[in-house]
Homo-oligomer: A and B are copies of this chain.
């Protein structure tokens, strides 16, 4: 079977598990909370994380069916972080649809005719609670891994709660913190560490959890889990670097979110740090007027894009993304020397980076 078909086959197995969990917990929830909690899953993304988990399980010699609840869990984990992230970033668009808090505000207006400010507060509260609902579902799904020994299930839960969760939240906070600091005082290494935590940690967990399930042992005891975690973390950083590039050069349709929102929110991307170092004093003044300026015009965003390109920052960032990918593939090759055992994970990595090639 070609990789693309295998990938789609896995997605087709994951989605029903997610929908069943949403439906079962949804029975306990009032309609608005149920709707917002399920909203991002009604139009799922590429399911990169759960597919990585299942491919890692297969690469470690396990069966996909055994790992399905864990695959559903990591997609729901990703989804709750998106719901809370969109509240924090005041984003209005996600996967081409309204974000959780925007949807919640609309529900409040439509149902009780709430005035604008009250509806906005109601929507934001719903999105916070909806993220909390999904956090519970993540844990619940991991407890239901019926074919995985209890000890391994507990190890997966301990790793999720004791390592992934604080790392990811540290990354979120670091992202917010960098946005508060002057671009002059930010090291590129801080931005890369933020990416490792915010994006890499979850991908690393997916790979480690999948291979641990495949090997029927705790991820902490497995060399393969360790290597696949490093592979996935490096892919995550490559992915995030690209995502930052697409946030400037892409289209809203491709990206499914607002173009330029990183600039308007004042996010300190590696692109920005590199451009800042390399552009003229006048260009820096222009960038300073755009960064964190929610009213920045289309013209200003276009100017920023030009500065990023002409300073070389775009090109350098794209090259760095490629380096992370190359490094990831080398780790993979060492961990899984037989080409047949690693080809699907290579296909997965290629899918992640397809967008800028």
A136 and B150: CB pair below 8 A? no
- Flag whether A92 is at the interface (Cβ < 8 A): no
Does A125 make an interface contact (CB < 8 A)?
yes
Q: Is the CB of A129 within 8 A of B28?
A: no
Interface residue? A287 (CB, 8 A): no
Q: Which of B30, B122, B132, B138 contacts A84 (CB 8 A)?
A: B132
Interface stretch (choices A163-171, A226-234, A273-281, A296-304): A163-171
Counting CB contacts under 8 A, is A180 at the interface? yes
Interface membership of A93, Cβ < 8 A: no
A244 to B157, CA, bound (A): 38
Give complex CA distance A170, B36 in Å.
13
Q: Does A241 sit within 8 A of B, measured CB to CB?
A: no
A110 to chain B, nearest CB (A): 12
- Could you tell me the distance between the alpha carbons of A244 and B88 in the complex, rounded to whole angstroms? 31
- Residues of A152-197 contacting chain B, CB below 8 A: 153-154, 157-158, 160-167, 169-170, 172-174, 176-177, 180-181
B158 A122 Cβ-Cβ under 8 A: no
A176 to B125, CA, bound (A): 9
Chain B contacts of A172 at CB under 8 A?
129
A66 CB–B CB distance under 8 Å: no
Given contacts A108-B180, A125-B176, A140-B161, contact A33 B170 (CB under 8 A): yes
Measured between beta carbons, the chain B residues less than 8 angstroms from A158 are: 140, 143-144
A161 with B180: CB separation less than 8 A: no
* B-contact 0/1 string along A186-211, CB 8 Å cutoff: 00000000000000000000000000
Contact A88 B30 (CB under 8 A): no
In the complex formed, the residue of B with least CB distance to A88 is B125
Interfacial chain B residues near A133, Cβ < 8 Å: 165-166, 169
Contact B32 A132 (CB under 8 A): no
Name the B residues within 8 Å of A135 (CB-CB): 132, 135, 165
Query: What are 17 of the A-B contact pairs (CB < 8 Å)?
Result: A28-B166, A30-B173, A30-B177, A32-B173, A90-B121, A114-B180, A118-B180, A129-B169, A133-B166, A135-B165, A138-B161, A139-B139, A140-B158, A140-B161, A143-B154, A143-B158, A150-B153
